[in-house]
Amino acid sequence: MAVRHFLTLLDLTPTELNQLITRAIELKKIQKENTLFEPMKNRTLGMIFEKSSTRTRVSFEAAMTQCGGNAIFLSSRDTQLGRGEPVEDTARVLSGMVDCIMIRTFEHSKIETFAQYASVPVINALTDDYHPCQLLADMQTFQEERGSIKNKIVTWVGDGNNMCNSYINAAKQFGFKLRISCPEGFEPNKTLLENNKNHAQLIPDLAKAVSGTHLVVTDVWASMGQEEEQTNRAKAFASYQVSPNLMDLADKNALFMHCLPAHRGEEISIDMLDDSRSVVWQEAENRLHAQKALLEFLMTA
């Protein structure tokens, strides 16, 4: 059978994605009960990081350890990748040594090339264009708190970045309506939006975009690699802050999510993460459980 990769949410069918979320919830229960569950025994995950990470690194590494396997952290600073060894070569070499490879990098095309040459599953742990692993955790969190997200309304606030693009894919795969509220010039990928116009629409007016919604999501104004644009972006995004007052416009059972790290006083008010509608800590923990389900799907299916 052809090896499966997880480069975007479109690599799995809607049915597979929903099964994965159900499985993530089961695996969370197994862990909370302290039941030994080691489907990854003698398996190794290679983890290539070309950008910083806290949650992604720790959740993948802990997931492998808890499932009886092992993870190897590979930074571009101290591997030959950082000295120019082609990804095509690295992909073939690592495929002979590990059972699955996770990559966090800049250009999305790099991970596509890597996957083309790899003979083991490749997981996108964030590129400039997509962050699908985060969406698994977000979808798990919504399911746990409010049940199915199908036919619900989700509002993305702020930058049309990698997280926003992944929310567009999620709208298609999980069947919700996505409203995107961005300042002019910071909209998500045009083609992606055009191809998903049945379930994703731009609503620059923030109050209108949040009105009656079931989930509000935001992210930093300047992503990794855009640090030099921070000052300009802070001006452009100034009126796109999520606060408890803004959340009051949403549905009375609305939730708030943020992939983290968050910048209090920028994309969120200083008190937003402590608001009762915020589920960000549960969302962060669910990275662990959702990725266990993903690793199990890719490596033991």
- Please identify every residue annotated as catalytic: 104, 131, 134, 219, 259, 287
- 48 three-class SS: strand
Q: Per rule CB under 6 A, is residue 224 in the interface with ligand NVA?
A: yes
Polymer length of the chain: 301
Q: Return the one option of ligand NVA, ligand CP, none that residue 257 interacts with (CB less than 5 to 8 A, by type).
A: none
The H or E element spanning position 133 is helix 132-146
Q: Return the one option of ligand CP, ligand NVA, none that residue 161 interacts with (CB less than 5 to 8 A, by type).
A: ligand NVA
Q: Per rule CB under 6 A, is residue 219 in the interface with ligand NVA?
A: yes
Beta carbon of residue 192, minimum distance to ligand CP (angstroms, whole number):
20
- Kindly indicate which of the ranges 114-122, 157-165, 170-178, 198-206 contains the residues binding ligand NVA, using the contact rule CB under 6 A: 157-165
| Closest CB to ligand CP among residues 13, 54 | 54
CA atoms 178, 7, 129, 49: torsion sign: positive
Query: What does the alpha-carbon distance between residue 267 and residue 277 come to, in Å, rounded to a whole number?
Result: 16
Query: What does the alpha-carbon distance between residue 134 and residue 163 come to, in Å, rounded to a whole number?
Result: 8
CB 298 within 8 A of CB 4: yes
Adjacent-strand bridge partners of 215: 154, 255
- Kindly indicate which of the ranges 36-44, 85-93, 215-223, 231-239 contains the residues binding ligand NVA, using the contact rule CB under 6 A: 215-223
**Would you tell me how many other CB atoms lie within 10 Å of the CB of residue 184?**
8
Where does residue 35 rank: exposed (0-12), middle (13-18), buried (19+ CB within 10 A)? Answer: exposed
Q: Return the one option of ligand NVA, ligand CP, none that residue 163 interacts with (CB less than 5 to 8 A, by type).
A: ligand NVA
Binding site for ligand CP (CB under 6 A): 53-56, 126, 134, 259-260
**122-124/100-104 β-pairing:** parallel
Q: Return the one option of ligand CP, ligand NVA, none that residue 54 interacts with (CB less than 5 to 8 A, by type).
A: ligand CP
Using CB under 6 A, which of 155, 162, 166, 286 touches ligand NVA?
Answer: 162
Amino acid at 117: Y
> What residues have CB less than 8 Å from 80, skipping those under 6 apart?
90
Strands (E), 12-124: 44-49, 70-75, 100-104, 122-124
Using CB under 6 A, which of 71, 87, 216, 220 touches ligand NVA?
Answer: 220
Q: Per rule CB under 6 A, is residue 45 in the interface with ligand NVA?
A: no
Q: Give, as ranges, the residues between 248 and 267 that touch ligand NVA (CB under 6 A).
A: 259
Nearest to 223 by CA among 58, 51, 103, 54: 51
Q: Hey, what are 254's tokens?
A: 């609305």
Q: Per rule CB under 6 A, is residue 203 in the interface with ligand NVA?
A: no
Beta carbon of residue 133, minimum distance to ligand NVA (angstroms, whole number):
10
Beta carbon of residue 219, minimum distance to ligand NVA (angstroms, whole number):
5
Q: Return the one option of ligand CP, ligand NVA, none that residue 209 interacts with (CB less than 5 to 8 A, by type).
A: none
Binding residues vs ligand NVA (CB under 6 A): 126, 131, 161-163, 219-220, 223-224, 259
